[in-house]
Amino acid sequence: MTRILACFSAFLLFCCASVAQDSAPAPTPAQPSAMSSGSPEIREFQKIEDAWSNAVNLRDQYGLELVLSPLFVDVSAAGDITTRNQQVAFVITGEDKTIHLDQRVITVRMLGDIAVANGTYALHHKVNSAQLDEKGIFTHVFERAHGGWLCINSQRTVLREDSNAKPRKQSNAELPFHIPLFSKSDKSNQ
């Protein structure tokens, strides 16, 4: 009887321990999370990107200063590196009257007081005397400051347009992979 009672007690203790482990929340590693397109973070950063685009489009110095950190560094698609002051000076001088920027946030990763936003952009601007439409992707790094977000780094990459691409030759094989030894061919009927 003592053995049965000891075995039952051990079994009961084992069950209680396993239930206690299952009910405790598992520790989660500190990993950045990519937000879905309908998330509040995406909407919040889209508003910031819209304010940035509007400041550039309307040549609004104050609007641009509200979005860009004093530590801001921009790497353009052409490889030019500029600071916040240079960006503001470009808006103030307004040499390019045709400039128009449109930015769309695709993902946001939150890393505490740092956020990384990735998205697409379309920029219409003048290069020398020619008008240019540039489409590409961006990565913007934001820092939480004074209850809001300021961009501290921007990187743009132009999407390559492959207009000189050769059209692909259509295969007449029944399967996507044609292995001459194992597939039908016109020569096998001879």
CATH code for the domain of 147: 3.10.450.50
In a domain, 62, yes or no: yes
User: What are 85-94's pLDDT values in tens digits?
Assistant: 999 998 888 7
In a domain, 173, yes or no: no
Mean pLDDT confidence for 114-140: 90
Mean pLDDT confidence for 112-136: 89
In a domain, 55, yes or no: yes
Of 70-74, 80-84, 176-180, which gets the smallest average pLDDT?
176-180
In this prediction, residue 173 carries a pLDDT of 53
Q: Taking the CB of residue 107, how many other CB atoms lie within 10 A of it?
A: 18
Of 3-17, 49-63, 82-96, 141-155, which gets the smallest average pLDDT?
3-17
Local confidence band at 28 (pLDDT 50, 70, 90 cut-offs): very low
Q: How many domains does the chain have?
A: 1
In this prediction, residue 82 carries a pLDDT of 96
Tokens of 7: 């075995």
Mean pLDDT confidence for 100-126: 94
Higher pLDDT, residue 19 or 85? 85
Q: Are strands 148-158 and 68-75 parallel, antiparallel or unpaired?
A: parallel
In a domain, 115, yes or no: yes
| Nearest residue to 53 via CA among 119, 145, 128 | 119
In a domain, 186, yes or no: no
Phi-psi region at 79: left, alpha or beta (left = phi > 0; alpha = psi -120 to 50): left
| Nearest residue to 174 via CA among 159, 184, 186, 162 | 184
What domain range is 101 assigned to? Answer: 33-158
Kindly report whether the global pTM for this prediction surpasses the value 0.75: no
- Between the alpha carbon of residue 29 and those of residues 13, 70, 103, the distances in Å are 30, 33, 32
In a domain, 41, yes or no: yes
In this prediction, residue 26 carries a pLDDT of 45
Phi-psi region at 27: left, alpha or beta (left = phi > 0; alpha = psi -120 to 50): beta
